[in-house]
Amino acid sequence: MIGRHVVVYVGALLTMFALSCANDEQLRRQVTDLQAQVADLQATLADVNLRMEEMSSSMFVLRESARNNRESIRKLQQEMQRPTVYIEQPAEEPEPPHTGAASAPGNETGSTPRTGPVTPSSPDVEARFKAAMTQLGQSNWGLAIYDLNAFVAQYPNSEYAPRAHFGLGEAYRNLSEYAQAVREYEQCLAAGAAAGPFGPKALYWIAVCFEKMGNAEKAKLARERLLHDYPDSPEAKKIKTGTPG
């Protein structure tokens, strides 16, 4: 009887031991699986950290690029603004005393024909003039003003000077600086016959600029002068037919 109890007891112990071993094996497998998962997570985390470092480097490069772009834009704006600092023109000679002769109708612009000799232009002068006019043709108004101002300051008696002053008037007009445009058109007009076909053009745009500035009286005088001095010009025809410029 005791022996049977012992056998039962031993059997129970063996069963518990077997179950314990089975549970340990399952736990070992679970631990192994968890360790593998941890290793995968560590690898993923390392990859994420690497990508974060790459993104940080890219952000730094982008910030530097943006800063350089802002600096380039600032310099370009300064370059574009610099030509608006007008080069000082030679002081105008005082008008001669009036002798009682009547002036042409509408001659309120104060321009008088030039008396200085026109200097024939060398190839270098012609090249500089054409370079400045290229800026005008490309609508680079600021650069055109800078180059043309420099040209007329250095070559005031050049045969290209009247055209250069007309080009300056065009540039200022396109920048809505109408008062300065009128002054340049007047300089072209003051060349007299040397202005050629740009004389009536200058008078026409003087009238337009005065209209833009709200000075209808001076605009009217300029138109009257255009009709009087250049009655057969295309610009006079525009005035007569009311064709817009």
pLDDT at position 77 over 90? no
Q: Residue 138 is encoded by which pair of tokens?
A: 């490309």
Q: What is the pLDDT of residue 173?
A: 96
How far is it, in rounded angstroms, from Cα 230 to Cα 222? 11
How far is it, in rounded angstroms, from Cα 65 to Cα 62? 5
Q: How many CB atoms lie within 10 A of CB 220?
A: 15
How far is it, in rounded angstroms, from Cα 168 to Cα 150? 11
> Could you tell me if 202 and 169 are in contact, meaning their C-beta atoms sit under 8 angstroms apart?
yes
How far is it, in rounded angstroms, from Cα 209 to Cα 215? 9
pLDDT at position 90 over 70? no
Q: What is the pLDDT of residue 68?
A: 60
Mean pLDDT of the 7-16 span: 62
How far is it, in rounded angstroms, from Cα 151 to Cα 159? 12
Q: What is the pLDDT of residue 120?
A: 60
> Could you tell me if 167 and 190 are in contact, meaning their C-beta atoms sit under 8 angstroms apart?
no
Q: Which of 205, 233, 229 is nearest to 219 (CA)?
A: 205
Q: What is the pLDDT of residues 24-74, one digit of tens each?
A: 777 777 778 778 888 887 888 877 777 776 676 566 666 666 666 666 666
Q: What is the pLDDT of residue 103?
A: 37
Q: What is the pLDDT of residues 107-150, one digit of tens each?
A: 445 444 454 455 666 778 899 999 989 999 999 999 999 999 99
Sign of CA dihedral 180, 198, 194, 100: negative
Q: What is the pLDDT of residue 113?
A: 47
**pLDDT-derived band of residue 85, with 50, 70 and 90 as boundaries?**
very low
Q: How many CB atoms lie within 10 A of CB 87?
A: 14
Q: Which of 145, 36, 31, 33 is nearest to 87 (CA)?
A: 145
125 vs 245, more confident: 125
Q: What is the pLDDT of residues 171-219, one digit of tens each?
A: 999 999 999 999 999 999 999 999 999 999 999 999 999 999 999 999 9
> Could you tell me if 89 and 183 are in contact, meaning their C-beta atoms sit under 8 angstroms apart?
no
Q: What is the pLDDT of residue 136?
A: 92
Q: What is the pLDDT of residue 18?
A: 65
Q: What is the pLDDT of residue 94?
A: 45
Q: Residue 231 is encoded by which pair of tokens?
A: 């009655």
Q: What is the pLDDT of residue 95?
A: 46
Q: What is the pLDDT of residue 34?
A: 78
pLDDT at position 159 over 90? yes
φ, ψ (nearest 5 deg) of residue 121 = -90, 140
Q: How far is CA 82 from CA 61, 130, 156, in A?
A: 31, 21, 22
How far is it, in rounded angstroms, from Cα 230 to Cα 195? 12
Q: Residue 243 is encoded by which pair of tokens?
A: 């064709």
